[in-house]
Amino acid sequence: MTDTILPDLAGAADPIAIAPAKTTAPRILAVANQKGGVGKTTTAINLGTALAAIGERVLIIDLDPQGNASTGLGIDRKSRHHSTYDVLVNQVKLREAILTTAIPRLHIAPSTLDLSGLELEISTARDRAFRLRNALARLNEARAGDEEYSYVLVDCPPSLNLLTVNAMAAANAILVPLQCEFFALEGLSQLIKTVDQVRATLNPDLTIHGIVLTMYDSRNRLSSQVVADVREFMGRKVYDTIIPRNVRISEAPSYGKPVLIYDLKCVGSEAYLRLATEVIQREKEMRAN
Ligand SMILES: Nc1ncnc2c1ncn2[C@@H]1O[C@H](COP(=O)(O)OP(=O)(O)O)[C@@H](O)[C@H]1O
Ligand SMILES: [Mg+2]
């Protein structure tokens, strides 16, 4: 592994171009892990829905060109008039890209495949790592009081590319879904290294909000071994809530619904509701400190 995991950021930290990180609402959480298929999108959708169900005002930002968060929330491609791509190339304001969903208090800025070309297009721009942070800062300026989001969840692509860096530069904290499988810890050390680099260069206040273990299978001895290992390695950073492997969770996106809407009573929905409560509780503790 090379030393620099980050894309080349020479000249990117132009102070004039950087909006100050907001410490009050909204809380911006980047749902990140460079591995694919670990539950990032599922967590963004369902944690977002659970937070909205509890009364929070939530914005999901789809930063994966695959657009699975958008599809999973029932946003068809035809209605994605403006996407996060348009926002990050500074063609539209973030507010113009935001769509409502079927869930009250849950909005989304959808993505399209254009986003996969973004890195090349803005590679020489001095503010390339801060496009999302700046867009969010302008959104906050424009909104007042009740209108403000209390949580922004950024669904990252499965890579440590410029999109993920934009998410980490904009975020207050990272939320890491970790699949209960053999190589879970291996990817985690690389992710932590990246967070350290972003903290050193782009966003000194960035923290790890927590690690959520996903796709836990109680019939599989390996799953419980992974839980024990990750808890030993990461201690209190690991949320108490574990998301079980649950077929209802995997069925829900094909209906364009979060699992909480698809089947509120299933164990998957219950787990994401518990996670939301825990995230809010952790927020309170972090603010108190
Ligand atoms: N707890 C779970 N139980 C069952 N299937 C899950 C669970 N979490 C995610 N999945 C499924 O696993 C696949 C990968 O999840 P996804 O959230 O898209 O991962 P990522 O965004 O990290 O690539 C999807 O098909 C999703 O429906
Ligand atoms: Mg995804």
Q: Within a 10 A sphere around the Cβ of 197, how many other Cβ atoms?
A: 18
Q: Is the dihedral of CA 53, 54, 60, 64 positive or negative?
A: negative
Q: What is the CATH number of domain 19-288?
A: 3.40.50.300
101 CA distance to ligand 1 middle (Å): 20
Tell me the average pLDDT across 227-256. Answer: 96
State which of 42, 163, 175, 241 you would mutate to test the pocket of ligand 1, scoring each by most atoms of that ligand within 8 A of its C-beta: 42
184 CA distance to ligand 1 middle (Å): 15
Convert the pLDDT of each residue in 57-84 to its tens digit: 999 999 999 999 999 999 999 999 999 9
CA distance 14 to 37: 35
The rounded percent of the chain whose pLDDT value lies above 70 is 90
Ligand with an atom nearest the CA of residue 42: 1
68 CA distance to ligand 2 middle (Å): 6
Q: What is the pLDDT, as a whole number, of residue 259?
A: 98
Convert the pLDDT of each residue in 156-176 to its tens digit: 999 999 999 999 999 999 999
Position with higher pLDDT, 13 vs 260: 260
Nearest CA to ligand 1 atom 24: 250
Q: What is the pLDDT, as a whole number, of residue 146?
A: 54
Is residue 145 predicted with pLDDT exceeding 80? no
What is the pTM (predicted TM-score) of this model? 0.92
Q: What is the pLDDT, as a whole number, of residue 274?
A: 98
Ligand with an atom nearest the CA of residue 69: 2
Contacts of 286 (CB under 8 A, 6+ apart): 173, 207, 209
Does the beta carbon of 214 sit less than 6 angstroms from any atom of ligand 1?
yes
Q: Is the dihedral of CA 165, 166, 168, 174 positive or negative?
A: negative
